[in-house]
């Protein structure tokens, strides 16, 4: 029997080598790149699930990874803003709850603007002396967005808003906070490992 197993083992080894070698298939190595990069984020699974569909576009480019993460984050934030507006229209919201929801919507609106600023700046990041200044602006804007989203969340918690719609909105906001945390981690990672600042 042992004699018969050898070719089988060899075949398996060959197959493994083929499947696991980095350049066996470009898309496979690209999703692996995203998995590894997402490891620095607070929510690696969310990071991987939201970004892996863009693996072909991101390839192994850190800047594209950060840019895509910001794109995803702003889209989710805008969607949350729409849901918030819907929440404000429902009957039976106590005045204090309505006020909290209105505040929250403003915070979310500010977060969208700040995320947009960070995206605009990231598209203009150039090699050379301004690199660190630009990255620091981007980090500041994304952190400000995170703070606004967090303030919105706190308002919800303070007023014990826990109806069906409120819980739905809460889920949206939590998702936005997590996506923003992840985007910030990927931006920090791009900034800290980038060689662009060193190039002329």
Ligand X SMILES: *[C@@H]1O[C@H](CO)[C@@H](O)[C@H](O)[C@H]1NC(C)=O
Rounded-to-integer distance, Cα 196 and Cα 200, Å: 8
Rounded-to-integer distance, Cα 70 and Cα 158, Å: 29
**Smaller CB separation from ligand X, 54 or 172:** 54
From the list 186, 175, 162, the residue with the least C-alpha distance to 79 is 175
Answer for which of 46, 64, 102, 174 binds ligand X (CB under 6 A) is: 64
Answer for which of 18, 25, 36, 130 binds ligand X (CB under 6 A) is: 36
39 interacts with ligand X by CB under 6 A? yes
Stretch that binds ligand X, among 11-19, 35-43, 82-90, 144-152 (CB under 6 A): 35-43
Give the shortest CB-143-to-ligand X separation in angstroms. 20
* Contact by Cβ (8 Å): 170, 88: no
**Smaller CB separation from ligand X, 57 or 127:** 57
Give the shortest CB-6-to-ligand X separation in angstroms. 32
144 interacts with ligand X by CB under 6 A? no
Site for ligand X in 147-186 (CB under 6 A): 159-160
Task: Name residues whose C-beta falls within 8 Å of residue 32's C-beta, 6 or more positions apart in sequence.
Answer: 22
62 interacts with ligand X by CB under 6 A? no
Q: How many CA atoms lie within 13 A of 80 on its CB side?
A: 33
78 interacts with ligand X by CB under 6 A? no
Stretch that binds ligand X, among 66-74, 77-85, 99-107, 132-140 (CB under 6 A): 66-74
DSSP string, 72-131: HHHHHHHHHHHHHHHHHHSTT--HHHHHHHHHHHHHHHHHHHHHHHHHHHHHT--SSTTH
68 interacts with ligand X by CB under 6 A? yes
Instruction: Provide the total of helices (H) and of strands (E) in the chain, helices listed first.
Output: 8, 0
**Smaller CB separation from ligand X, 68 or 81:** 68
Give the shortest CB-176-to-ligand X separation in angstroms. 17
């Amino acid at each position: 029997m042992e004699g018969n197993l050898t070719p089988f083992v060899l075949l398996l080894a060959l197959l493994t080598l083929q499947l696991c070698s980095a350049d066996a298939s470009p898309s496979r190595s690209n999703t692996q790149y995203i998995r590894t990069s997402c490891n620095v984020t607070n929510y690696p699974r969310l990071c991987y699930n939201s970004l892996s569909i863009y693996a072909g576009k991101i390839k192994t480019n850190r800047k594209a990874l950060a840019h895509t993460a910001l794109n995803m984050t702003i889209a989710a934030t805008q969607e949350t803003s729409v849901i918030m507006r819907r929440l404000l229209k429902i009957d039976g919201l106590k005045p204090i709850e309505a006020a909290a929801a209105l505040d929250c919507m403003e915070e979310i609106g500010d977060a969208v603007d700040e995320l947009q600023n960070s995206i605009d700046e990231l598209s203009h990041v150039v090699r050379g002396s301004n690199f660190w200044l630009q990255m620091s602006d981007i980090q500041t804007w994304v952190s400000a967005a995170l703070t606004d989203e967090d303030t919105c969340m706190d308002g919800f918690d303070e007023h014990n808003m826990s109806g069906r719609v409120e819980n739905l909105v809460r889920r949206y906001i939590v998702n936005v906070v997590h996506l923003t945390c992840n985007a910030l981690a990927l931006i920090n990672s791009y900034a800290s490992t980038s060689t662009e600042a060193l190039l002329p």
